[in-house]
Structure 1
Amino acid sequence: MAEQRRLVLPGELIARGEYKLNQRDYMYVYVEGDKIYAAVPCVVTIKEKEIHIIPLESVYIPKPGDLVIGLVETFMLTHWEVDINSPYTAVLHASNVLGRPFIPSKDNLKDYLSPGDYVLAKIEVFDRTRDPVLTVRGDKKLGRITEGKIIEIKPSRVPKVIGRKGSMLNIIKGDTGCDIEVGANGRIWIRCPNKDLEDIVTLAINLIEREAFTPKLAEKVRVLIADEKHERGLI
């Protein structure tokens, strides 16, 4: 059988039947019965009965201890299902949010988190054999996000937004006076004294994402912030 190579998009059928994949490649697909679908944009090579995946853009793969910003999708009897901008859907148990055992006859999960809510959490458990488990315990900043703005970038650009030893993030915080939490999953929570500064931070982060590998990026960010503050009468 000749080698087949093609570009596929998320949700597109890759193959049907019994095929062999490397363990690493399972993070880029999902399987339903005997059908294999793409979870991310990728180039797929099929030869004989083997499939090889080359992702076109890195995706967020959870690791225990990661700080993430999740979007509540739905709730079940004892937990919420949370979108963490990953091929994997996370689980947040009610007892973790309540800080005590969940009592079905007494507790209504909608009173605590509803679909559409954002939550700042950490990955507590994940080993790729089951959905990642979130926790909002152990740090007072964790929990439902009730103010500010959430923006999304490619997870692969998160290290650039943070910078070496936090240098880039410190520039943005210091020059704007905003509080910023950067999720490892590519979601960023911004809280600023006013809407203009919120917009400036957004522009700065978009610049970093767009020009992540250009020289003198920190200087460009400083100039952008200064120029925007001047134009808006903030300095």
Structure 2
Amino acid sequence: MEGRKIVVPGETIVQGDDFLPGEGTRREGQNILANRYGLAETNAKLIRVIPVSGAYTPRRGNAIIGTVTNITFRGWLIDYGGANEGFLSVAEVPRYVGKGELRDCFDFGDVIFAQIWGADGGNLDLSVKMREFGKLTGGQLINVNPNKVPRIIGKEGSMIHLIKDATKCNITVGQNGIVWLRADKIDDEINARKIIDFICDHSSIAGLTEKVEEFIKKELKIEVKVRERREESFDEKNQENEGEKN
């Protein structure tokens, strides 16, 4: 198989014993078939189908963005856009929080960047103990399809660095499809949002980095420094386990 292509469930992607079935695929005899609708790609003979739409599936180790909706004596309830709320225990913050101090740490409506350390039966246990996690102050939130997150981050963070270089924005990407933007100028936040929207609208095409650079230069009239490029992969393993902050 050359390049990437859209496939539907049951469609034969490739034939032959040289290929291995990966995520979203199965083998039937000599054929590797798609288990779901999405974008098929090959990586070192491994065939997989990356979903192009669908809800976020929480996984242990994921980094997500959410909003404090309720406070109990044991911690905070966090709305991350899923069916249930996540729970951040007072034991999972980097400092001691005494009784009556919870609102001093995180208050109603606060936006936080947190890591999932437990995901069982739809219940999410969150942590902000590591230094890269915590409250996100100011800025704005945008919602994207969670399956577009790997494209927004890019190979080894290449795409997110391109956006930051062009807009001077601080950007945090949650794997649940919530993105936080903050810049000194509102116009820079608007431009960052336009770039992210462009990436999401064109996420299935090859050579996306070049298309984004062209969009930034021609549509936004911003000169960008071209970084050394590496071969793009639609779904990076490290992006399944980590979000991107600042």
TM-score normalized by structure 1?
Answer: 0.66
Deviations 1:163-199 (A, max 9, x none): 2222221221222222221111111122223211111
Shift of 1:123: 0.9
Checking the alignment, whether the CA contact within 8 Å between 1:83 and 1:90 is kept in structure 2 is yes
Using a 3 Å threshold, how does the CA distance of structure 1 residues 56 and 222 change in structure 2: closer, same or farther? closer
**Partner residue, 1:192:** 183
Deviations 1:101-152 (A, max 9, x none): x543xx24222222221101111222x236111111121x321111222211
Aligned partner letter, 1:165: E
**Partner residue, 1:13:** none
Q: 1:85 aligns with which of 71, 77, 81?
A: 81
Aligned partner letter, 2:110: D
**Partner residue, 1:145:** 136
User: For the residues of structure 2 that align with 1:56 and 1:173, how far apart are their CA atoms?
Assistant: 25
Point out where structure 2 has 5 or more consecutive residues left out of the alignment. 1-50, 223-246
User: After superposition, where does 1:122-201 map in structure 2 within 5 Å?
Assistant: 122-126=115-119, 128-129=120-121, 131-139=123-131, 141-201=132-192
Checking the alignment, whether the CA contact within 8 Å between 2:94 and 2:130 is kept in structure 1 is no
Q: Which has the larger radius of gyration?
A: 1
User: For the residues of structure 2 that align with 1:112 and 1:98, how far apart are their CA atoms?
Assistant: 10
1:117 matched to 2:113? The reply is no
User: For the residues of structure 1 that align with 2:145 and 2:133, how far apart are their CA atoms?
Assistant: 22
**3-state DSSP of counterpart to 2:123:** coil
**3-state DSSP of counterpart to 2:107:** coil
1:213 matched to 2:211? The reply is no
Aligned partner letter, 2:113: L
Using a 3 Å threshold, how does the CA distance of structure 1 residues 203 and 93 change in structure 2: closer, same or farther? same
Checking the alignment, whether the CA contact within 8 Å between 1:200 and 1:228 is kept in structure 2 is no
Point out where structure 1 has 5 or more consecutive residues left out of the alignment. 1-54
Task: Give the 4+ runs in structure 1 shifted more than 4 A.
Answer: none
User: For the residues of structure 1 that align with 2:52 and 2:183, how far apart are their CA atoms?
Assistant: 34
**Partner residue, 1:9:** none
Query: Which structure would you say has the larger RCO, counting Cα contacts within 8 Å and 6 or more residues apart?
Result: 2
**Partner residue, 2:68:** 72
